[in-house]
Amino acid sequence: MADGPNSQPNDHPGQIVLVLQGGGALGSYQAGVYEALHEAGIEPDWIIGTSIGAINASLIAGNPPEQRVERLREFWKRMEQKPPFTVPGAWPGFHDALGYWTTLMRGIPGFFTPNPFAHVGLDYPLGADQVGYYSTGALEQTLLQLVDFSLVNRCTPRLTVGAAHLRTSQMRYFDSRDHNIDVKHVMASGALPPAFPPVRIDGELYWDGGILSNTPTEAVFDDNPRKNSLIFAVHMWNPAGSEPQTMAEVLNRHKDIQYSSRIASHIARQQQTHRLRHIITELTSLLPNDVRQQPAVKTMTAYGCFTRMHVVRLLAPQLERENYTKDVDFSPSGISQRWHAGYAHTRRMLERRPWIGSFDPLAGVILHEEDHSLPVATG
């Protein structure tokens, strides 16, 4: 691939944040996004991930910059699932379907393997740490081979992974700024039920964070203290879609709606909230100094700020013949096409640099989106 566009430090209006959504096999798109950023000389200060996003995030944070793309390639190469055989002249989609059923029946070496006891019966006692149709012990070994967690805990970049607390259904963000992150935290973030068993951390069980918040941009908005940020929010599930005409299209659209996590309404609320913060700060500047010093006034004006966050939303495209099994499409072609799409989308966004320019001074959250009417070379 050609060298990416050059970026200068003053092109970045604050810390660089990479937010990676959950989505199984769709996560190869995120690897392409990172490769384009890396080629442009843009390394994240903070990476936030859920599920496969947490895995990709750990591969980036747990390796030195010059090895990150190589480690991502190694991981996704290990994830490739090829059909056990081919049938010349088979109907379109036959080999995709064969690969899907092969993945469900055999798992993926280096990721997950079937748990035979889970098929004995729904009431068969497996134990709280083993309740899943597959075992993810292979993934743990893969991550330990490819991720240096001592590097992760140096907090450069900062790593945050989201998981769902099983007992209370509360979202928990494990943050390397606050405590050490190890392989169990990443595993917990990707423990999607009922396929994968929960992961125990400090005596408590956690499931995949995507079942509560699959788009963890909220971690940036809620951070304390808030900072000016350029946020690359990488999404794999399309919040917009057409009316389904078949049951397969129903299943596909259902997944998109479920895992896109209401991102449009979430961003709209954050835009409103941050606009109000800017208004509070503007109004505070109009108060006499003696009034601003009053304790009650200080408490109220503390809600204001002038922090500005540019959110660059990158959305994985729908591939030809894509359907509701897309998040289990670990075929070499599916992985390659999504990787190349993420790379192409990001290069195009970096060439535009929409975060450079003049903006409404009261705007605290500004959304920039890719123009998906333009063609993308998927290789």
| CA separation, residue 201 to residues 120, 259, 295 (Å) | 28, 25, 42
CB 162 within 8 A of CB 172: yes
d(CA 70, CA 139): 18
Measured N-to-C along each axis, helices 28-39 and 52-61 cross at an angle, to the nearest 10 degrees, of: 30
Give the list of residues 6+ apart from residue 264 with CB closer than 8 angstroms, or none: 239
Looking at residue 6, its pLDDT comes to: 40
One-letter identity of residue 27: G
* pLDDT averaged over 10-residue windows placed end to end, the chain, 379 residues: 40 90 96 98 97 98 98 97 73 73 88 90 87 95 98 95 96 95 97 96 96 88 92 92 92 90 80 93 93 94 92 91 89 94 96 93 91 47
- 290 burial level (CB within 10 Å; 0-12, 13-18, 19+): exposed
CB 183 within 8 A of CB 149: yes
Extended beta strands in 226-315, E state: 229-235, 309-315
Helices then strands, each counted (H, E), the chain: 13, 11
Model's pTM, two decimal places? 0.90
Nearest to 30 by CA among 366, 315, 374, 365: 315
Dihedral sign of CA atoms 250, 255, 257, 258 in order:
positive
CB 229 within 8 A of CB 14: yes
Report the SS3 class of residue 48.
Answer: strand
Whether the bond between 114 and the residue before it is cis, its omega within 30 degrees of 0, is: no
Looking at residue 85, its pLDDT comes to: 67
| CA separation, residue 107 to residues 79, 134, 270 (Å) | 10, 8, 40
Long-range interactions of 60-66: CB distance < 8 A, separation 24+ = 60/18, 60/34, 60/157, 61/151, 61/152, 61/157, 61/158, 61/159, 61/176, 62/146, 62/147, 62/148, 62/149, 62/151, 62/152, 63/146, 63/147, 63/148, 63/151, 64/151, 65/38
Q: Could you tell me how many residues make up the chain?
A: 379
